[in-house]
Structure 1
Amino acid sequence: MSTLLEVSGVSVTFDGFRAINNLSFQIGNAELRAVIGPNGAGKTTFMDIVTGKTRPDEGRVIWGEKSVSLLRMSEAKIAQAGIGRKFQKPTVFEDQTVQENLLMALKNKRGWLGVLFYRPSADDLDKVADLASEIGLKDELTRKSGELSHGQKQWLEIGMLLAQEPRLLLVDEPAAGMTPQEREHTTDLLVQAAKTRAVVVVEHDMEFVRRLNCKVTVLHEGSVLAEGSLDHVTSNQDVIDVYLGR
């Protein structure tokens, strides 16, 4: 499997604290990966570096078949290159309907004039209907997003990211605050998304990670402590000591 993202030898220090320490990580084109680790392990900083929010002191972050350096690109250019990020708290336009939120997110080439005079085409509406089915909101298209449950808002935000057709999706703690049924649907959604793109899920909930049934990377003090199946990493003595407890 060809590598889509390669992070190698990356370190970053904030006020004398080394948040990321010689971190190396890679993920393939259509791969699902869970990233776990204790608080302060560097999970958020890792995502900040990949999306251009934080610049590392050293190391390389290489993207795509043409091996482009992400470190030379702005946050906006990185997003345009196909890297989408979902933060923990859902950010949707609450006064707009589900359909309007998804339409706004569609990957269409349009300048500011195009945005002002935008009228969705039949093709756009079809795409949005398909996306709504995929995320489990096809019966909610005309509802205002502010009326959705917490879980549904999370799905809508994932749908808005998928509408931009990213090649890599970074998702931060998607299961937090969800009902068991919502979590199950979220698992299915992420597993499905990873069939056609790379998906990295940062999560604390071990049951949720188990259901994802994917390779797991454990971070500790800014570097990779262990990597492999969930059973493999959770039986690693170092992981037990620093993260899982006895």
Structure 2
Amino acid sequence: MSALLEVSGVSVTFDGFRAINNLSLSINEPELRAVIGPNGAGKTTFMDIITGKTKPDTGHVLWGEQSRNLLGMSESAIAREGIGRKFQKPTVFEAQTVRENLAMALKNKRGPFDVLFYRKSAEGATRIEELAAEVGLTEQLPRTAGELSHGQKQWLEIGMLLAQDPRLLLVDEPAAGMTPAEREHTTDLLVRAAKTRAVIVVEHDMEFVRRLNCKVTVLHEGSVLAEGSLDHVTANPQVIEVYLGR
């Protein structure tokens, strides 16, 4: 496995507060990685840097086989490189059906005339059915997105990101506000998605992280404090002190 994403020596300071401090880590393709840590550890800023929302003061973020530096790119250019991000609150088109949401997200040409003269294709219809099956929303396709449960909206948004065929998926606290059954389904969904791409999950819920059964990176004060299996990192005295409590 070669590294898809290489973050090295990255630091960023906001108003004198160092949010990310000489952070280095690498993600392979395919790989499922959980990122955990106390509030203020730099988890969100780490995702902001990868997606171009925040420009760091120092360091490199290298991407893909050509090791292209993402730091000079705009947010939209980074998205086109194949990096998709799912925020905590689901952002779906509530008045549109599940099918229409997935159709709008499909990786089509995005020029003004392409959007204007968009034609439904058999290929597109098949892909929508595949995506709906992948996220467990086949029976919900005709429903408007606003009618879905919180968990179903989360899955729809993940489906919309998968429609873009990303090589790296960043997912922020997917288990928040879900029922136990929804969380189980979300676990399966992310584990399956990570068989063909890189998936980074930022999460507070330790039980959810345990079910993901993947490598865990613990951030603290903007740096990597520990890395390894969940059992390995939760046995680390420093992790216990700063995150898990005595």
TM-score for the superposition, normalised by structure 2: 0.99
Equivalent residue number for residue 175 of structure 1: 175
1:1-246 equivalences in 2 (<5 Å): 1-246=1-246
Return the offset for 1:113: 1.2
* 1:46-98 Cα distance to aligned partner (Å, 9 max, x none): 00000000000000000000010001110000000000000000000000000
Return the offset for 1:110: 3.5
Q: For residues 141 and 241 of structure 2, what CA distance do their matches in structure 1 show?
A: 47
Q: For residues 160 and 224 of structure 2, what CA distance do their matches in structure 1 show?
A: 31
Amino acid across the alignment from 2:72 = R
Q: For residues 129 and 209 of structure 2, what CA distance do their matches in structure 1 show?
A: 29
Structure 1: where are the runs of 5+ without partners? none
SS class of match (2:24): strand
Identity level (%): 80
Structure 2: where are the runs of 5+ without partners? none
- CA change 1:213–1:115 in 2 (3 A) is same
Amino acid across the alignment from 1:78 = I
TM-score for the superposition, normalised by structure 1: 0.99
Amino acid across the alignment from 2:3 = T
Q: For residues 52 and 9 of structure 1, what CA distance do their matches in structure 2 show?
A: 16
SS class of match (2:204): coil
SS class of match (1:190): helix
Could you list the structure 1 runs, at least 4 aligned residues long, displaced by more than 4 angstroms after superposition: none
Return the offset for 1:42: 0.0
SS class of match (1:175): coil
SS class of match (1:4): strand
Q: For residues 107 and 50 of structure 2, what CA distance do their matches in structure 1 show?
A: 21
Amino acid across the alignment from 1:170 = L
Return the offset for 1:147: 0.2
Q: For residues 192 and 140 of structure 2, what CA distance do their matches in structure 1 show?
A: 21
Q: For residues 125 and 237 of structure 2, what CA distance do their matches in structure 1 show?
A: 52
Amino acid across the alignment from 1:56 = P
SS class of match (1:94): coil
How many positions carry a matched residue from both structures? Answer: 246
Of 236-245 and 104-113, the range deviating more from structure 2: 104-113
RMSD (Å), alpha carbons: 0.5
Amino acid across the alignment from 1:143 = R
Q: For residues 165 and 123 of structure 2, what CA distance do their matches in structure 1 show?
A: 15
SS class of match (1:102): helix
